[in-house]
Amino acid sequence: MPPEAGQDWREILVAAAALRTGVLEAFGEGSSPTQVASRTGLDARGVRIVGRALQEQAYLESRGDRLALTAKGREALHLEEGAGLGADLLLGERAIRNHLALDEVLAGGPSRDDVSSGGLEQRRRFMAAMRHISTPRAPVAAKELGSPPPGGRLLDIGGAPGTYGSAFAASGWKVTVFDLPDTLAAVAGDLAARGLSTIGGDATEALPEGPWDAIYLGNVLHLFDASTASAMVGRAAHALADGGVMAIQEMMLGRAPQAANFAVMMLVSTPTGEVYSEQTYRGWMRQSGVEPLRVVDLDEREHQLLLGRRR
């Protein structure tokens, strides 16, 4: 989950601080930096300089002698709903903070963060950021997965953002999202509104009983070390119907240009996460009785979708 292309670290830090301090919101339909400073109790010079940077980054626009929110600025303010740019900015800021602890991690300390944990608000924001990142990719993945057999049931492991589940449902699959109970609790209303069934649990321990006609593992295996991730693939294979489809979407090492950098993100943001190569994923499928069929590049090779069929 790297920050959006086009957002550099300065934009992420400036916009995230403007969100957290209330500066962005305070500009509203049009205010001067002095008015915003006095309304928020923040430093006038700081608000003037940050306001100018936010204008440069198209979160604000000038309206006479005032600055007002643009559509991008308003989008950023919706932190927990929909496919949130604001959530993506805060996740980017969190990633930068985690990277600043890299020397401690290199010295043998624990990862700075666990991206799958946190309170309700943090989980909700993580889900909104995931939706923001995956919204363009999900329909492509659904098209590659293809249509279901009559009444075909699909289990989406780690699917709480709902983006892929919605796209699969639009192709005719009966989708069940399986995710951590606390994460599902944070987005229950959204998933229900999308018409997706849910089951809470821990995929490192057990999966809902099958047989499923398809199982989708999207950007979840990289959260774990190789033995945990391969065991999860084995568990998924076991829950698949004969002839059922397994789909693994990941940044695959050696194929996705961002994969090596993304592994550093996993190093500082998860207790044991890692990235793996296409060959590794193919091997895990094969040893579980799933024949790898083909790999599709998504997002100009940023992600790969590996499809296999249970023998």
Residues that bind ligand SAM (CB under 6 A): 116, 130, 134, 158-161, 163-164, 179-180, 183, 202-204, 218-220, 223
Which CB atom, from 66 or from 132, has the smaller least distance to ligand SAM?
132
Q: At closest approach, how far in Å is the CB of 212 from ligand SAM?
A: 15
Closer CB to ligand SAM, 116 or 176, in the complex: 116
Q: Considering the complex, what minimum distance in angstroms separates the CB of residue 304 from ligand SAM?
A: 12
Rounded distance, CA 16 to CA 10, Å? 10
Residue nearest to ligand SAM (CB): 158
Q: What is the DSSP letter of 277?
A: B
CB 309 within 8 Å of CB 286: no
- Provide the 8-state DSSP code for 222: G
CB of 104 to ligand SAM, least distance (A): 23
Q: Closer CB to ligand SAM, residue 14 or residue 237?
A: 237
Nearer to ligand SAM, 35 or 171 (CB): 171
DSSP H helices in the chain: 9-21, 23-27, 33-40, 44-56, 71-77, 85-99, 102-106, 120-134, 138-145, 163-170, 181-193, 226-239, 259-269, 278-287
Q: What is the radius of gyration, based on Cα positions, of the chain? A: 21
CA distance 199 to 208: 8
Cβ 126 to ligand SAM shortest distance, Å = 7
Q: What element of type H or E holds 294? A: strand 290-298
Cβ closest to ligand SAM, residue 118 vs residue 283: 118
Minimum CB separation of residue 44 from ligand SAM in Å reads: 40
**CB-wise, 136 or 243, nearer to ligand SAM?**
136
- Collapse the DSSP code of 27 into the 3-class scheme (helix H, G, I; strand E, B; otherwise coil) and give the result: helix
* Comparison of 60 and 141: residue with beta carbon closer to ligand SAM: 141
Instruction: Name the region of 256 (left: φ>0; alpha: ψ -120 to 50; beta: rest).
Output: beta
Let me know if 31 is exposed, middle or buried by CB neighbors in 10 A (0-12, 13-18, 19+).
Answer: buried
Write down the least CB distance from residue 219 to ligand SAM, Å. 4
Tell me the closest approach of the beta carbon of residue 134 to ligand SAM, in angstroms.
4
Q: Are strands 212-218 and 290-298 parallel, antiparallel or unpaired?
A: unpaired
- 183 vs 288, which CB is nearer to ligand SAM? 183
Please give the structure tokens belonging to residue 100: 């600043």
> What strands, in cross-sheet order, belong to the sheet with 212-218?
197-200, 174-179, 153-157, 212-218, 240-250, 303-310, 290-298
Token pair, residue 159, equals 């699917």
